[in-house]
Amino acid sequence: MTHDDSTLDDAASNDAASKDAALIEPGLQVLKRYASQGATLSYDDLHRELGSPFEPDSDALERIGRLCDDITAYHSRTTGLHLMITVLVRDGDTGLPGDGFFALADRLGRLTATDAIAAKRTFVDQQERRVFMVFRPTKDSTSGFARNH
């Protein structure tokens, strides 16, 4: 049986998509941990935290971006929370999430597409505060009163 190159490309693409899908839950756990610490991370940090699953080729950054979109969708679907948890993943140069994050925010109706940096920063700050609020660790009571069990 012979295959043309497009069939092989499709098979490789499907294999990559399957491997990427397996990273959604581990990626979400990484982001929850960072959120509980009140911290952000770069795309490179996320890649390293996941064990550097992508070859350093031309589509690695694109695949990490798609993974972030998938993590946001998975998190919203499984929790019912309309948080963009991947707001924590930032471009090391700009300090903002990548263009894909803002395109997803537009598709979800959370931020109208804009090139205005101030509007993007405001949206990122709001999302970040919400994520940190949801995932901050609970503190033990310091009131001195015993809990009723």
Report how many domains make up the chain.
Answer: 1
Phi, psi (5° rounding) for residue 43? -60, -40
What gap in Å lies between CA 138 and CA 14, rounded to an integer? 41
100: in domain: yes
pLDDT of residue 65 exceeding 60, the answer is yes
Supply 106's token pair: 């537009």
- Single-letter amino acid, residue 98: G
Whether residue 142 lies inside any domain: the answer is no
Is 147 part of a structural domain of the chain? no
Is 140 part of a structural domain of the chain?
no
Could you tell me which residue, 125 or 3, shows the higher pLDDT?
A: 125
CA distances from 65 to 14, 70, 125, 144 (A): 17, 9, 20, 47
143 in a structural domain: no
Range of the domain at 121: 5-135
- What pLDDT, in 10s, does the model give residues 8-32? 334 334 555 667 899 999 999 999 9
Residue 129 lies in a domain: yes
Query: 9 in a domain, yes or no?
Result: yes
Query: In the structure, what pLDDT confidence band is assigned to residue 4 with cuts at 50, 70 and 90?
Result: very low
Q: What is the pLDDT of residues 67-124, one digit of tens each?
A: 999 999 999 999 999 899 999 999 989 999 999 999 999 999 999 999 999 999 999 9
